[in-house]
Chain A
């Protein structure tokens, strides 16, 4: 069993995994967009500085496709072609990897329980999610609840989104979720404690206004 039934007093790893489970990370996408933006900014700024003569008027009045560079490439045509091909292959691979990772759906790992040396018990992610969400819906003040497993098989976590009714006591709901919903789930899943990210939303159904 990778984790104990009793919740650790302060496990930094569990806290970090719970924070990560709040929402799907956009960090990779932000890095890709930021790196491409930085490259464009550097190229554009450098070109503008060159064009406005910051590096000398002589350079600014040379052709964009400089004959010196063209002659050098023609003199080493084989090397130039190989380098260009490698660059293009890197672009294809990197671009496809980025696109596939950005478009891939978020993983829903199943929960493997420790049932002894010769036995393997796996609870599917949908079963975990349905059990936790169903338990959450029984709490007063929660009108809707949705749960899903996130992370990977090695480090699974749970994301629980609850919609509060208008008259809900938020503090009470926050207190009862770990005590009742998550404790019941822990018991049901063989004592395994999962890092949990709870997302609280206000239900959109508006009640009658007091006048």
Chain B
């Protein structure tokens, strides 16, 4: 959305300037050549005038145009409001230094850590400053999560929730969660995101 707004802003500016130029041309032409026949120099505003003379406010084209204009305006407002940066802030190491990372970089770090486990065959991660969501698939039963990082004993995991999936293997979910929590412990994040883990157990040989 940020890119969209960056592209749209100069286009809107140019459109406004073009409207202004057309207006100036037509006004000056009508002013210095009042007896000029036909329509406007560039814009057929006399034809538009004849249409608007007979068009009532209550007619369907006017209603549709009004609704379309309002919807476009609403979309522009939404675009402007949602074009914020989505940086993930880290704790500043010095007063004059700000450190941030991107949600994609955080997700990549988490993904690397999760995929490095023996029991994990693959994982997809989405991250923001508030939440990290991991969907992993792997095999049950070889890696035991460290006791200090287990969800039952770590206060940092309070509030996070696993998403129950058909065929979920709790030990694999705990392993993945422990890996993610361990990484978040290592990262100097300004606010610790919530962690949600869902896993899908794979059958068959590794």
**Do residues A11 and B96 form an inter-chain contact, with CB atoms below 8 A?**
yes
Segment of A110-118, A125-133, A138-146, A171-179 in the binding face? A171-179
What residues on A are CB-neighbors of B30 within 8 Å? Answer: 81
The residue on B at minimum CB distance from A57 is: B58
Question: How distant is the Cα of A193 from the Cα of B96 in the complex, in angstroms?
Answer: 8
B97 at the interface (CB under 8 A from A): yes
- Does more than half of chain A's interface fall in helix, strand or loop, or is it mixed? helix
Interface flags for B12-51 (1: CB within 8 Å of A; 0: not) read: 1111111111011001101100000000000000000100
Distance A182 CA – B6 CA, assembled complex (angstroms): 32
User: A19 with B9: in contact, given A40-B69, A95-B16, A211-B206 (CB under 8 Å)?
Assistant: no
- List, in ascending order, chain A residues with CB within 8 A of B148's CB: none
B57 to chain A, nearest CB (A): 5
Instruction: Assess whether A150 is interfacial by the CB under 8 Å rule.
Output: no
Q: Are B9 and A23 in contact (CB under 8 A)?
A: no
Interface of B is mostly: helix
A33 engages B63 (CB within 8 Å) = no
Contact flags (1/0) for A174-201 with B, using CB distance below 8 Å? 1101110010000000000111111111
| A90 CA to B17 CA, complexed, in Å | 9
CB–CB B10/A102 < 8 A: yes
Which partner residue on chain A sits nearest B186 by CB separation? A171
Interface string of B94-125 (1 = CB under 8 A from A): 11111111101110110010011110000000
CB-defined contacts of A64 to chain B, threshold 8 Å? 52, 55-57, 62
Residues of chain A lying within 8 A (CB to CB) of residue B158: none
Q: Which residues of B contact A5 (CB under 8 A)?
A: none
Name the CB-closest residue of A to B101: A200
Task: Write the nearest CB–CB distance from A30 to chain B, whole angstroms.
Answer: 4
B53 touches A65 (CB 8 A): yes
Interchain CB contact (< 8 A) of A44 among B5, B27, B67: B67
State whether the Cβ of A107 lies closer than 8 Å to any Cβ in chain B.
Answer: no
In the complex with contacts A11-B95, A62-B57, A47-B17 CB distance below 8 A: no
A60 to B108, CA, bound (A): 58
Q: How far is the CA of A43 from the CA of B93 in the complex (A)?
A: 50
* B108 / chain A contacts, CB cutoff of 8 Å: 202, 204
For B73, the chain A residues whose CB sits under 8 A away are 36-44
Expressed in whole angstroms, the minimum distance between the Cβ of A120 and any Cβ of chain B is 24
Q: How far is the CB of B1 from chain A (nearest CB, A)?
A: 10
Contact A196 B97 (CB under 8 A): yes
Interface with A: B82-90, B164-172, B195-203, which one? B82-90
Give Cα A61–Cα B101 distance, bound, in whole angstroms: 58
User: What's the least CB distance linking B70 to chain A, in Å?
Assistant: 3
If the complex has contacts A47-B69, A174-B90, are A63 and B53 also in contact, measured as CB distance less than 8 A?
yes
Cα distance A28–B6 in the bound complex, in angstroms? 10
Chain A residues packing against B (C-beta within 8 Å): 7-11, 14-15, 18-19, 21-23, 26, 28-34, 36-45, 47-48, 50-53, 57, 59-65, 67, 81, 84-85, 87-100, 102-103, 164, 166, 169-171, 174-175, 177-179, 182, 193-202, 204, 206-207, 209-211
